[in-house]
Amino acid sequence: MQAKSEITLKFSGELPTATPAANKKVEVSLTDQNGIVFTALINAKSWRKAETNTSEFGDWAGAISGKLGQRTDNGFEVVDAGIQIFQKKAKESKPEEGTAVAEAGAAS
């Protein structure tokens, strides 16, 4: 049976360091909690958009996803990688129980 090996690397707080690469790409490396280094080539235009989003969003999280590639000396390549930045939304505080009951009663 054949399977697809896809990977998503999640990060927050700051963008990983990107270095210019060939063919309008940037190279990004992320190290996971086990010390494994994942290296991805990302389209430079997508990278610039990610940089813009992180500066516009107050609180954010990011993800680099792609196919698990060849093993390297200290980790793996991420092939056909893309990046997304998500804005974290503040959780709405729940109204106190008494307030909710009063509103429900008034609506009837």
**What pairs with residue 44 in β-bridges?**
none
pLDDT of residue 37: 96
- The DSSP H or E segment spanning 42 is strand 37-43
The residue with greater pLDDT, 66 or 95, is: 66
**What is the number of other CB atoms lying within 10 angstroms of the CB of residue 95?**
11
CB 16 within 8 A of CB 28: yes
Asked if pLDDT for residue 93 goes beyond 70, the answer is: no
Confidence at residue 108, expressed as pLDDT on a 0 to 100 scale: 45
Please tell me the pTM assigned to this model: 0.78
Which domains does the chain possess? 6-107 (2.40.50)
Alpha helix locations (H) across the chain?
A: 44-56, 97-107
pLDDT at 97: 57
Across 84-101, average pLDDT? 72
Average pLDDT over residues 2-11: 93
Quick: pLDDT tens for 18-74.
999 999 999 999 999 999 999 999 999 999 999 999 999 989 999 999 999 999 999
